Structure 1
Amino acid sequence: MPISRRTVLTAAAGLALPLGAARTRPAVGFTLNAETLDGGEQVTSLTLHAGRLGPLDPAAFRVHATATSPIPLAPGDQIFSEYDLDRPVTAARRARRGNIVLDLSYAEGQLGGGTLGYIVSRGRNVRLNLVYTITHAASNTRFLQGGLVNPEVDAFGYHASASGLKYRLYSPGHARRRPLIVWLHGGGEGASLPDDYYDNETTLRANRGALGFATREAQKIFGGAHVVVPQSTSYWIQDGPRFAPLIREIVEDVARRNDVDRDRIYVAGCSNGGYMSMKMTVTYPRLFAASVPICGVVTALVSDTELAEIRTPSWLVASRDDTTVDPVANTVHAHDLIPRSRMTLYDTVTWNGYRFPGHWSWIYVARNDQNFWQWMARQRR
């Protein structure tokens, strides 16, 4: 869902305005600047398209933010993380083109900056409707909210296959033949079609799984790579055999249109997508050069016979403290059966001093903790 475009009028606290004065007050537009952290996307700063607003004192600005569900919720529905609060301004600074940037307080796990909400009854992340209100104590300027800007996310174009499955695509250019990386998202990033919600965005905003492969570091390792991110219309694990040919359709279309090196097509995914990455190597044993299934589900979904027949080089990843998908019954079990597979089993999911839920072991792949990318890039079909 797009951000609310509603015009937000603000005035200095306690200032009485005569009728019609709002039309003559100076207006300044602003954009919301976001970053996808390991724990999900947050609005980290605001860019005010103005050159002068008096002294750049952070204390002179008040920023209030509300975030609400884009989907009507039934009584009793629970959603994380709507909010209605003030966002502390930590700095006010000049930027290029004479704009003013207000840096906001944010951190992993901090409530009040996120762009996604998780609806428990649907098991889905949705893009929240965000309304930011700015007040400047030293002027009567009115501030008009614009769009949400996240350069990493915005680098992925919007597409849909002939069958209707949506996907995002990052392309490094067309100078020469390039590899292709397929990222398969987790369960919370699919569509919610009973609500007609199919955004083609949460796959990139919920975590850095796909974005990591589009970073300068990863692109250098792969020699430039296309990164494609299909979005499920439900859960991959609900109907893997039906989704497999739809994903392959996207792979074939991207490969044909972008002169992809067909000996260097890789697949990786987390949770639901960890299952689906294994299902893809079972269904299409000669399509991929390497597979990285992360905290994937195999119990009752991929048979022991199928696992034993996988010939795609595979590196399985999970954390021992995963309470969502049992790492022993799934990751360790799959590793024991997939010939010549690798496995990294972490004790916890901790990055930059912050401990995440044990299920979130994809963070290590997104940050290339064990040189996962270098191993993938060396594999050829």
Structure 2
Amino acid sequence: MATPLSRRTLLAAGTGAAAGLSLPGVAAYADDRATKGMRFTLDAQVLDGGEQVTSVTLDAARLGPIDPASLTTGTFTVHAKATSPLPIADGDAIFSEYDLDRTVTAARLDRRGNIVLDLSHAEGQISGSTLGYIAGRGRNVMLDLTYTITQQAPFALRDHRSITIKDFVQSRRLSDPEVDAFSSHVSGSGMKYRLYSPAGAHSSGRSKRPLIVWLHGGGEGASLPDYYDNETTLRANRGALGFATPEAQRIFGGAYVLAPQSTSAWMQDGPRFAPLIREIIGDVVRGGRIDRDRIHVVGCSNGGYMSMKMTTVYPTLFAASVPICGVVGSFPPGGPPLIPDSELAQISTPSWLVTSRDDLTVDPQANTVHAHELIPGSLVTLYDHVVRNGHQFSGHWSWIYVARNDPSIDGTHVWQWMAAQRRP
């Protein structure tokens, strides 16, 4: 008969604290390693609307071969708590904090023999978000995530031993293979950036590759003296990640993808940021096998402004520019334009502008359409709404379409158009 074991629940966010339930009447796994707690990792994916924790992986392979038939959606429960990493000032608010039970939709084994608990997730569902938006600061931040795993029933090994884990220990690491594929860097001027390097890019004899520069929106900048993370640029949307997907890499023949993070918002100080971005581009070009005639700049919202600004400051640097819901007029209204008409009319970089007509954040007519009318030879795609897989997003989020290579003109999609461009 198994020795009765008492219930234990110990919690701490990302600090290696443990939580679990030991059930009386079943055999408990007694290996010394297990008494210190079974580790688990949060697995995340960046959806079109931002990153969510989509599953939890329990480090169970070391127990021995597990009988998958003994795992059900009721074997474990998962509780999630997400809180701001920063104090929230009186009168301010952070969106996407939560404290709730996550729904386990499947319990399975991965190829290593670890237990994976798939969790319910969907666009617009905040219960799995990894980011929170601080309204008063206008910034996304990485939430402190505390997950509690509780075993409700034993599972079995293939040798028929019943297993109940005493403790579960949350790993500090958040696993997201797409994000993890980007290395982290800091420029000589102190600007942080992430870089994706294509497979085989440094092999001798291989041809040089294009470079795609992704300039984030306002919510992914810094301007928080106590918060500059080099993370939200990749996790808030698929803007940079889209260009690192197998489909994009095939279209571009393997491309580097660069994502700098501003220390405030690009629109607040575009002329100062331009040379800092140029510095990073120069460092990346010197450090990799990059074709200088195939450097592209893409950006959304604040980054849409900055992608156009870069082509006014450096008219011969880029092969193509894709400004998405960018700002050229005064913002907020009443001041001078961020990019004067005279500068827009002088842009010589091939440009494809994208926006949605229902954008309530940046007036599409006064900004994207106006810029298109002035930038010589530019292309434009105007959507009515931002809808993907049946979910309607804010009209401002038209970057979702570019991240999925959706815009097309006369049968040519935006990624293929970019890949065909060369600097004169």
User: Which TM-score applies when normalising by structure 1?
Assistant: 0.95
Query: 1:320 aligned to 2:357?
Result: yes
Indicate if the aligned counterparts of 1:29 and 1:145 stay in contact, CA closer than 8 A: yes
The alpha-carbon deviation at position 97 of structure 1 amounts to: 1.6
Q: Which shows bigger deviation, 185-194 or 297-306?
A: 185-194
CA contact (8 A) 1:63 1:86 kept: yes
Residue type matched to 1:169 in 2? L
Shift of 1:4: 2.1
> Could you tell me how far 1:42 is from its partner in structure 2?
0.2
Q: What SS does the corresponding residue of 1:98 show, helix, strand or coil?
A: coil
Aligned to 1:39: 49
Of 223, 231, 236, the residue aligned with 1:206 is 236
Q: Is the 8 A contact 1:171 1:225 kept in 2?
A: yes
1:220 aligns with 2:261: no
The alignment status of 1:174 with 2:199, answered yes or no, reads no
Q: Secondary structure at the match of 2:318?
A: coil
Deviation at 1:27, TM superposition (A): 2.2
Listed one character per residue, the Cα deviations across residues 32-81 of structure 1 (whole Å, up to 9, x for unaligned) are 00000000000000111114677201112110000000111112220011
> Which amino acid letter does the alignment assign opposite residue 34 of structure 1?
A
The gaps in structure 2 that reach 5 residues or longer are: 1-12, 26-31, 154-163, 330-336, 408-412
Partners in 1 of 2:247 and 2:422 — Cα distance? 20
**Structure 2 partner of 1:288:** 318
Q: Secondary structure at the match of 2:402?
A: helix
- In structure 2, the residue matched to 1:61 is 76
> For the Cα contact (< 8 Å) 2:18–2:37, is it kept in 1?
no
User: Residues 26 and 140 of structure 1 are in contact (CA less than 8 Å); yes or no, is this contact kept in structure 2?
Assistant: no
Report the equivalent of 1:154: 180
The alignment partner of 1:63 has SS state of: strand
CA–CA distance in structure 2, aligned partners of residues 14 and 75 of structure 1: 47
367, 371, 374: which one pairs with 2:404?
367
1:341 alignment counterpart: 378
**How far apart, in 1, do the equivalents of 2:178 and 2:353 lie?**
26
Aligned partner letter, 1:379: Q
User: In the TM superposition, what is the alpha-carbon distance from 1:24 to its structure 2 partner?
Assistant: 7.7
- In structure 2, relative to structure 1, the CA distance for the partners of 1:178 and 1:23 (3 Å cut) is closer
RMSD: 1.7
Structure 1, 50-59 or 228-237: larger mean CA deviation: 50-59
> Distance in 1 between the 2:320 and 2:165 partners?
59
- Matches of residues 52-91 of structure 1 in structure 2 within 5 Å? 55-91=70-106
Q: Is the 8 A contact 2:123 2:391 kept in 1?
A: yes
Cα contact 1:25–1:141 (8 A) shared by 2:
yes
Do structure 1's residue 257 and structure 2's residue 287 form an aligned pair? yes
Partner of 1:18: none
Instruction: State whether residues 81 and 98 of structure 2, in contact with CA within 8 Å, keep that contact through their aligned partners in structure 1.
Output: yes
Answer whether contact 2:34 2:166 (CA < 8 A) is retained: no
In the alignment, what sits opposite 2:333? Answer: none
Say if 1:39 and 1:206, in contact at 8 Å, map to a contact too: yes
Note the alpha carbon deviations across 1:108-133, whole angstroms, 9 max, x for none: 00121000000000000000000100
The amino acid of 1:78's aligned partner reads A
Identical-residue share of aligned pairs (%): 69
Change (3 A) 1:89 1:305: same
- Equivalent residue of 1:58, what SS? coil
Per the alignment, do residues 24 and 170 of structure 1 end up closer, same or farther by CA in structure 2, a change over 3 Å counting?
A: closer
In 2, Cα distance between the equivalents of 1:8 and 1:68?
A: 18
- Once residues 114 and 104 of structure 1 are traced to their aligned partners in structure 2, the CA distance between those partners, rounded to angstroms, is 12
Runs of 4+ in structure 1 deviating by more than 6 angstroms, as ranges, are none
In 2: Cα distance, 1:361 partner to 1:253 partner: 30
Q: Give distance in 1, aligned partners of 2:110 and 2:15.
A: 24
Check whether the contact 2:223–2:265 (CA below 8 A) recurs between aligned residues: no
Do residues 273 (structure 1) and 299 (structure 2) align?
no
- Mapped to 1, the partners of 2:323 and 2:387 lie a distance apart of 19
Counterparts of 1:134 and 1:193 in 2: how far apart (Å)? 33
1:295–1:318 CA contact under 8 A, matched in 2: yes
The equivalent of 1:28 in structure 2 is 38
Partner of 1:19: none
Q: Distance in 1 between matches of 2:265 and 2:22?
A: 48
Paired residue type of 1:155? A
Separation in 2, partners of 1:278, 1:5: 43
Larger Rg over CA atoms: 2
Aligned partners of 1:324 and 1:156: how far apart in 2?
30
Which residue does 2:422 correspond to in 1? Answer: 380
Which of 107, 122, 130 matches 2:122? Answer: 107
Contact 1:291 1:315 survives alignment (8 Å):
yes
**Match for 2:167 among 133, 142, 145?**
142
Q: Matched residues in 1 for 2:41 and 2:368: separation?
A: 43
Tell me, in whole angstroms, the C-alpha distance in 2 between the residues paired with 1:28 and 1:356. Answer: 39
Shift of 1:8: 2.4
1:201-257 CA-partner distances (Å, limit 9, x unpaired): 000000000000000000010000000000000000000000000000000110011
Using the alignment, how far apart are the partners of 1:304 and 1:26 within structure 2?
65
Q: Could you list the per-position Cα deviations for residues 7-49 of structure 1 after superposition, in whole angstroms to 9, with x for gaps in the alignment? A: 122225899xxxxxx9984621110000000000000001111
Q: What is the Cα deviation at residue 140 of structure 1?
A: 4.7
Structure 2 counterpart SS, 1:197: coil
Secondary structure of 1:97's partner? coil
Q: Measure the CA separation in 1 of the matches of 2:17 and 2:349.
A: 53
Kindly tell me: are residues 109 and 237 of structure 1, through their superposed partners in 2, closer, same or farther at Cα, counting changes over 3 Å? same
Matched with 2:28 is none
- CA contact 2:354–2:382 (8 Å) conserved in 1: yes
Q: Structure 1 stretches of 5 or more lacking a match?
A: 16-21
Aligned AA (2:419): A
Contact 1:81 1:111 in 2 (8 A): yes
1:332 match: secondary structure: helix
CA distance in 1, matches of 2:14, 2:72: 28
| CA distance in structure 2 between the partners assigned to 1:225 and 1:316 by the alignment | 21
